[in-house]
Amino acid sequence: MLEWLGIVIQGILTGGLYALFAAGLSMSFGILRIVNLAHGDLVMFACFAALVAADAFGLPALATFVIVVPLMFVLGYGLQRGLLNRVLGGGELPPLLVTFGLSIVLQNGLLQAFSADNRKLQAGPIEVQSLEMLPGLAVGVLPLLMFVSAVALLALLHALFFRTGTGRAFRAAADDPRTLSHMGYEPRRVYALAMGTALAVCAVAAVFMAVRTQFTPLAGPARLLFAFEAVIIGGMGSIWGTFLGAVLLGVAQAVGAALDPALETLAGHVLFFVLLVTRPQGLIAKGK
């Protein structure tokens, strides 16, 4: 029984990392109405940016946040302002094609710069440290830190959306973009701020991922798939729904891996399919 409790806890903690991946994608869906096929590859770009920052400036792994998060915000702002805004309003296909092309460019660019070798960001003792919760049940410090960071960051996003003028602009952009100009906001700037915020959140996930596991330039599509499943399970546009979906996905994968290592990824996909059929609107209503 204690063994299975540990497995479930591990899945929940993994879900915290997935929630960070998915939060940025949820913003793209909920605010910009963009299916960003380059989302996973942008996460990989942030992973390699953290690796370069650590090597170039001699920073501890987790200190690379101070470089990677602002970098990804600026990148997201620039991408939306200079590229994606140009294809908004023409239906769903143009943004889909543009982000698909961006995905290919990012993958091949990273392959050219770093090759297909596995990389990892070394963080030292924290990678193997653990806390004993119960006799015979220990929890890794790094996964716990990732989970706490995910909860804190999503709480900040919720406060941003519902307690600030910028958040009201984000919600207006999602519900009725025509009202933005009447509120005194430039719509294209609001979209750029939203994308910048989305990629800043992804940067946090990327640094944690780079520390926790190996990564390659070709790992982006898998991150996109996990994020997409978490968003759909929880409910498109719902912050805490995305968190719940990510946690359920993490638990499903942990249980599947415990039954048979070959079932780890499949178990998450099965959960996604079942909930998509039984509750296509997601578990939590938009805006919660």
Q: What is the pLDDT of residues 181-236, one digit of tens each?
A: 777 778 888 889 999 999 999 999 999 999 998 999 999 998 899 999 999 998 87
Please count the structural domains in the chain. Answer: 1
For 171, list phi and psi in degrees, rounded to 5: -70, -35
Report if residue 136 sits inside a domain.
no
- The pLDDT value given to residue 133: 81
Each residue's pLDDT tens digit, 200-214: 999 999 999 999 989
Q: 242 lies in which domain range?
A: 9-115+142-278
CA angle 72, 47, 62 (to 5 degrees): 90
Cα–Cα dist 227/67, whole Å:
24
Residue 88 is assigned to a structural domain of this protein: yes
Residue 81: exposed, middle, or buried by beta-carbon count in 10 A (0-12, 13-18, 19+)?
Answer: middle
* N residues, the chain: 288
- Taking residue 225's Cβ as centre, other Cβ atoms within 10 Å add up to 15
Residue with tokens 């599947």: 256
What is the CATH classification number for the domain harbouring 109?
1.10.3470
pLDDT per residue over 60-105, tens digit each?
999 999 999 999 999 999 999 999 888 877 777 888 899 999 999 9
